[in-house]
Structure 1
């Protein structure tokens, strides 16, 4: 009995010693992780301080016109050797070192520059916890503003930020310093008071914050004579609104979209696929790529492992709960399908060719612009006239309407009011994070967004603008008819957002159906 006790005590002692060693190893790994994270934070702090100091240096410059010219030259990737331009380039270099930046494509001088804002350009953005995109946002926004203002397009920048718990507001203060140096008028509202109230529907809240970003628009006519409702002797003095989401975009994207004399024009927003949208095959491929890259499992073994029936359901649950871990290994999907509708009123799809109407399919796959019923897609350029006339604004759905997004309802209202020139250029491709950038730009081996599945990329040509604007606005009349009032109506796909929900459950029965939209 005593011998058994001694044996058991010896085993317990060995287990205790082993447990102590494991504990020490775990503590060591935790310490290493904290040191690594601390190093990253320290590096991020140093980069931010460098950007801030460079921005403050620019704010002391008295030659705002010369500085705008420098940013315009840098946007065109031209050598700018003056001391002033060297300082501007130094600021952009510090921004580039501080975070993710979309590359500037070659050949920026192919765009028309003068008068493309039809009066003036109002750049509006809502931001919340957008620290990761801020270096790119500031970099390309300043290049855009430099191009616009240097070529005679007055610009105003309005940002409404609220609810951020990261450094978004600090980055916006940097932006404000440089806009001051450029003498570009702006209003950057930081820490805004609009918060989502308890029980408030998501779309009602989003309509309020989007409207808040447009508040300065309605003050400009009296203050500057810009963004005014058209009078009898001035047919189009209202300007255009460039509305940006918290996406990763290029200055060339904005300049390209501004070439279209449309009431609304957008590109494509592409992001990493969410697990519920994947097919079984796509899901297996994503997990296999993850196992191969992170667990060093041989690729053929990883593929076989994910196909084991006993593990399949477990993997899907794991994938759904660990989306950030697997995000970079999945396919690239079109994101804003809840809003986007092709010219027949049918919903865009996640996968190429994204549109459904066959004539549009043929054009999009060839990289050619098409007419659409609606789009937003992370970056939209809108005719400001109906806004300054106070006949259009962001809102939630009314009783009897599709419970759609504030952007979808905006499109429907524009059609009803006769602002129905709407175009999508599939060569403008914005995204949301590093995973999306790596897919679009082939891990930065390309300066062009060539990684959109199933799409050809074509350089900009002015003849494509003329061609798409010559297409009929009612390209597909098979879903159109006349109502008793004599107005045309169009059947438009609708996917209702349930009351109190944040996301549409597209796969739920009865969620998606057809609604009727009145046309002018």
Structure 2
């Protein structure tokens, strides 16, 4: 349909990080080839960064290079790479236990964007940076139709557009924050805010404070033109350490911090598109694409909603949760209610029987972004 055409004036920098992904690549690479043929060599650059795999991932990625050359697709495919973007981690292919995971992940993601950062793509001279999009793919199952639908999120009026990712239940609850900066649930209706629930039910893009969710399209301007330019980063310390003066108050994902930094630079239009569902297991992908599955989720989710007042706290919780998530977390606090809701989910064959019975002092994530001074 016309709505799913690729605008001819846009350019796409496709970024990929792979580690031990050989099982996934059997489905991933054919879909990528189809997408590249759809976009054409004049609209796209492919940047792949792999480090430390021991399952044949590197060889599979190298096998893609002749195809990219045949179809004249500009690319950078780097395998068995060491990271040398931080002097303390020079020469490492895999993360040692002594290195914080988010520090490592921020370096890995930046490595995938190096050709964009340093201008070595040599592409698109004179192209308006506002027409350039950065697209990040996690190790997920997806289809070309997912990319096209995500691209047209909110009639393309966005700074960041995210899919929804599932590992049985909604997966990326650590990064995602609703429009009020609160943590989502792993089960439908995912977000607490009523307008967001209505948009989800209608399959319309939902404004959020932060998201990533396995597949994301971002404007390139903050990476290229902002002062200082946006980069993937960590909050300056390892998990469990207290923040020093000037550091981010809470331990957070590099993906959430990118959303935070976009907002700080005035790029505040961030949307999660419930029409785009990607998964980390092939079987989950088939399940979440069934047309009736979302209606079943909705029906079962409505069983939860009347009970929410029973487990939403009415007083502030001290400590890490209050500092990083605010005073009204979404998670179930009473064990008996966890059992009831999980049983309802299981009996209804909803997205899964895991109701997110996390402890409410979940000491990760960042302070709700509406509580941060953002202009």
Query: TM-score under structure 2 normalisation?
Result: 0.72
- Determine whether 1:174 maps to 2:63: yes
Matched position secondary structure for 1:177: helix
Structure ranking higher in helix proportion: 1
- Deviation readout 1:456-476 (Å, 9 max, x if unpaired): 9xxxxxxxxxxxxxxxxxxxx
Residue of structure 2 equivalent to 1:163: 52
- Equivalent residue for 1:214, pick from 113, 138, 143: 113
Within 5 A, what are the aligned runs for 1:264-343? 264-272=160-168, 333-343=169-179
- Deviation readout 1:398-428 (Å, 9 max, x if unpaired): 4242201000111111111101111111010
Residue of structure 1 equivalent to 2:233: 395
Distance 1:202 1:453 in 2: 36
Residue of structure 2 equivalent to 1:261: 157
Matched position secondary structure for 1:518: coil
- Determine whether 1:376 maps to 2:269: no
Residue of structure 2 equivalent to 1:187: 76
- Equivalent residue for 1:417, pick from 250, 255, 265: 265
Distance 2:63 2:295 in 1: 33
- Equivalent residue for 1:454, pick from 271, 292, 297: 297
Change (3 A) 1:179 1:451: farther
Question: What displacement does 1:340 show?
Answer: 0.5
Distance 1:353 1:116 in 2: 36
- Deviation readout 1:61-115 (Å, 9 max, x if unpaired): xxxxxxxxxxxxxxxxxxxxxxxxxxxxxxxxxxxxxxxxxxxxxxx55413223
Distance 2:26 2:125 in 1: 29
Within 5 A, what are the aligned runs for 1:37-76? none
Q: Is the 8 A contact 1:221 1:227 kept in 2?
A: no
Residue of structure 2 equivalent to 1:114: 7
Question: What displacement does 1:177 show?
Answer: 1.7
Question: What displacement does 1:380 show?
Answer: 0.6
- Deviation readout 1:205-233 (Å, 9 max, x if unpaired): 000000000001124478234597xxxxx
Change (3 A) 1:199 1:506: farther
Question: What displacement does 1:116 show?
Answer: 6.1
Higher relative contact order (CA 8 A, sep 6+): 2
Residue of structure 1 equivalent to 2:359: 507
Question: What displacement does 1:239 show?
Answer: 0.4
Distance 1:227 1:388 in 2: 14
Question: What displacement does 1:335 show?
Answer: 0.2
Q: Is the 8 A contact 1:128 1:164 kept in 2?
A: yes
Asked which structure has the greater CA Rg, the reply is 1
- Determine whether 1:224 maps to 2:145: no
Question: What displacement does 1:511 show?
Answer: 2.3
Distance 1:226 1:492 in 2: 43
Q: Is the 8 A contact 1:124 1:213 kept in 2?
A: yes
Distance 1:251 1:222 in 2: 24
Q: Is the 8 A contact 1:249 1:430 kept in 2?
A: yes
- Equivalent residue for 1:493, pick from 325, 348, 356: 325
Residue of structure 2 equivalent to 1:133: 24
Q: Is the 8 A contact 1:429 1:449 kept in 2?
A: no
Question: What displacement does 1:237 show?
Answer: 4.3
Distance 2:20 2:126 in 1: 30
- Deviation readout 1:145-165 (Å, 9 max, x if unpaired): 112227xx6100001001111
Query: TM-score under structure 1 normalisation?
Result: 0.53
Q: Is the 8 A contact 1:492 1:517 kept in 2?
A: no
Q: Is the 8 A contact 2:130 2:219 kept in 1?
A: no
List runs of 5+ in structure 1 lacking aligned partners. Answer: 1-107, 229-233, 273-332, 457-490, 496-504
Give the root-mean-square deviation of aligned CA atoms.
2.8
Q: Which 4+ residue blocks in structure 1 deviate beyond 6 angstroms?
A: none
Q: What is the number of equivalent residue pairs in this alignment? A: 296
Residue of structure 2 equivalent to 1:430: 278
Change (3 A) 1:348 1:508: closer
- Equivalent residue for 1:252, pick from 145, 165, 175: 145
Matched position secondary structure for 1:192: coil
Distance 1:452 1:176 in 2: 42
Distance 1:347 1:207 in 2: 22
Matched position secondary structure for 2:8: coil
Matched position secondary structure for 1:224: coil
Matched position secondary structure for 1:454: helix
